Amino acid sequence: MQQTILIVEDDADIAESLHYNLRREGFRPVIAESGEKGLRLALDEKQPPALVLLDLMLPGMTGMELCRRLRRESQTERTPIIMITAKAAEGDKILGLESGADDYVVKPFSIKEVIARVRAVLRRSESETSPTYDDGMMHIDFADMRVTCTGEGVKLTRKEFALLEHLIQNSGRVASRQQLLDNVWGYSYFGDTRTLDVHIRRLRQKLGDCGNCIETVVGVGYRFIGTK
């Protein structure tokens, strides 16, 4: 079955180029020229997108606003989003990724690169299939993105949850800072590792009594060791 790729882009030439090349690669591309139309198509229950290619500079609802809205909706909270924009500053990339995007492509871009990133993000999304985690103190339902510690619910952002999920999937093994950035923030992310360290600190604080499940390996990265 063809996977639907939603292209939210108001530049007709770029949108048509993406549409043509994605279709050649076996996908079912759909174009939305505005954030409002993109939201309607993203929430289409009959043909939900497997991934969203999202321009930031849109008329009306901006791409950043749409990204945040999609992350609040239960139907699209885990739908992969790749932002496409002319904003190349590192601060803009970090803002986009922390708003819930899975990857960030700067214009002008190579179509081959975009296709490679689409496939990489989809593979990563499809591999996140672990059902639950429970060590007696902390319980996680990965499908519903629900975390409890000693019976109390823990409210995490999407990035914090993705960090915790990746660490658990590699339980007992050290994950380097760059590995975590690549796998949680997006394809070949070369941003400041302080972004990761801040997220880990917040994650530990939110987990409270369960925060000791993440061990710092000085000079390397982090390792999930459980709460026991």
Write the DSSP string, 184-208.
II-TT--S-THHHHHHHHHHHHHHG
CATH class of 4-127: alpha beta
Report residue 136: phi and psi, to 5°: 95, -25
For the stretch 16-42, pLDDT in tens is 999 999 999 999 999 999 999 999 999
How is the chain split into domains, by residue range?
4-127, 132-224
Predicted pLDDT of residue 130: 54
Average pLDDT, stretch 93-108? Answer: 79
Predicted pLDDT of residue 121: 84
For the stretch 212-221, pLDDT in tens is 999 999 888 9
Angstrom distances, CA of residue 83 to CA of 12, 129, 197, 228: 17, 24, 23, 39
SS3 content of the chain, % helix, strand, coil (to 5): 45, 20, 35
Predicted pLDDT of residue 2: 80
**CA separation for the pair 102, 42 (Å, rounded):** 16
Q: Is the pLDDT of residue 203 over 60?
A: yes
The number of CA neighbours under 13 Å toward the Cβ of 190 is 4
pTM given for the model? 0.62
Neighbours of 195 (CB within 10 A): 19
Predicted pLDDT of residue 190: 54
Predicted pLDDT of residue 157: 86
**8 A C-beta contact, residue 165 and residue 199:** no
Q: Please, what is the average pLDDT of the chain?
A: 86
Angstrom distances, CA of residue 228 to CA of 57, 137, 175, 187, 211: 48, 8, 20, 33, 11
Predicted pLDDT of residue 173: 86
DSSP state of 150: T
Q: Is the pLDDT of residue 188 over 60?
A: no
Task: Give the residue among 19, 90, 107 at the shortest CA–CA distance from 56.
Answer: 107
**CA separation for the pair 145, 122 (Å, rounded):** 18
The third-level CATH classification (topology) of the domain covering 132-224 is Arc Repressor Mutant, subunit A (1.10.10)
The proportion of the chain whose per-residue pLDDT surpasses 90, expressed as a percent, equals 43
Q: What angle do CA 34, 1, 48 make, to 5 degrees?
A: 30
Judged on CB neighbours under 10 Å (0-12, 13-18, 19+), 167 is buried
Angstrom distances, CA of residue 184 to CA of 142, 154, 156, 168: 15, 20, 14, 13
